[in-house]
Structures are given as structure tokens and as C-alpha cells.
Amino acid sequence: MLEKKKSRYKKLFVVLIYIMKLMKQVHIIVDGYVQKVGFREFVLKETFGRGISGYVKNLDDGKVEIIAEGSEDELQGLISRINITRYPISVTEILVSWEEATGEFRKFEIIRGDLQEEIFERIDYIVTILHENLDISKENLSVSKETLKNTGTIVDLQKSTLEKQDQMLDLGKETKNEIVGLRKDTGSYLEEEFKEIKKELVSIKDALARAGIKV
């Protein structure tokens, strides 16, 4: 029984060693506008659900340090994703060094500094985000005004088109009425002409009869 347990533990140890060899540790130093702009929270978010453990923290020289352990592919992806220039974050330089994983980290976390410093940093970050949201709101308002202006132009154009259509309908009605009137006038005229022609034919027939010519 004891031998079986030893054999089992040995196999587990071998598997653990194999997994550790597949895991890597990366040491990253990030420079740029990376403090008081929410960069650490951004790094934490980019590690979430990816099997990455370690930490991120601010350094006294204004840079940010990241120690991360995980599969090499995931760590390479992390390095790529955090190399950003997106307001208010601007990464200007990333120094990377690789080591074998130690397995000492249970999760990925932010290492906080002095409480007062952290509070001021959070306030700075919140104010930055509020300003960004305010700018976005102004842009959206401008777009909305332009959209309303364009909508008003379209409405005016539609009104103008409807007015022209009404004019065409009125013109069509007038033309129809004129045609109907013309038909009536023409019919009356032709009827009078036929009456006159008929009278003349009767007179001609009477004249021929008096002359002894039968028609």
C-alpha cells in the first residue's frame, strides 16, 4: 500500500515538474504615462481568466513593474496587449526578461502602495475618466445636433417634394377639367355644324326636286 502511494506521488511530482517547465515567468518594466491613469487595473483586467498569476505595482521612478507567470503564449499575448497608447494611458517603453516559473503566486493582483498615495491616484484616475466621458458626451451632443439639423433638412425637402406633388395633382386636375370642357365645347360645335350641313342638304334636295331631278 505504501509503495503504491509513493508511486502515485512520484507520478504527480513528474507531472508537476513537466507543467512547471511549460510555465514561464516574465519580468516587465513599463515606462510612459502609466501611473495615476488606471494602468494597473488595465493590466489586471488583461490577465483575467487566462491562467496568469503574479502582480503589478508602481515604482518610485514613475514606471510600473509586472511579474507574471503562465504559459509562454499567454504571457506573449499579455505583453502585446499592454503595449498601448490609448488615452489616458501611453506606454513608451517595455523592458522584458524571461525566467523559469517558480509557482509562488496563487493569483494575479495589484500591489498597492501608501494609502494616501493610492487615494490620490484613484481620484486622479476618476477625474480623468470623468473628463473623458464629458468629452464623449459633448461629441455625442454635437453629433445629435447635426443629426437633428440633417433631419430638419430632410423634413423640409420632404415638405417641398409634397408641395410639388400637390402642385402636380392640382395641375393634373386643371388639365383634366380643361380636357373635359374642350370635349364639351367641341361636341357642341360639331353638333351645330352638323345641323347647318343638314339644313343645307335639305335645301339642295328641294332645289333639285323643283328642277325635276330626283335624288
Which residues are catalytically annotated?
40, 58
* Cα separation, 148 vs 118, whole angstroms: 44
* Cα separation, 120 vs 44, whole angstroms: 20
* Cα separation, 52 vs 132, whole angstroms: 30
* Cα separation, 69 vs 95, whole angstroms: 16
Query: Could you tell me what percentage of the chain is helix, strand and coil, using 3-state DSSP and rounding each to the nearest 5?
Result: 65, 20, 15
Task: Supply 173's cell numbers.
Answer: 386636375
* Cα separation, 210 vs 18, whole angstroms: 142
